[in-house]
Amino acid sequence: AWFLIVTVDSAYSISPLVELGVFRSPPNHFAWIKHTSAAEKASKEISIDHKIRIGLIGYGKTGKAVANVLSTDSRFKLCWIARRTVREQAQSHPDTDIPIIGMEEQSFEALFDRLPVDAIVDFSSSQAVHRYGEMVRQQRLILVSAISAYSKSDLDYVRSLG
pLDDT value of residue 49: 57
Instruction: In whole angstroms, give the CA distance from residue 28 to residue 111.
Output: 34
Q: Please tell me the predicted confidence (pLDDT) of residue 129.
A: 92
Give pLDDT < 50 ranges for the chain. Answer: 1-38, 40-48
- CA atoms of 149 and 146, how far apart (whole Å): 9
Report how far residue 32's alpha carbon sits from residue 98's, in angstroms, rounded to the nearest whole number: 29
Contacts of 112 by beta carbon, 8 Å cutoff, 6+ apart:
55, 132, 135, 139
Question: H or E element: which one contains 82?
Answer: strand 76-83
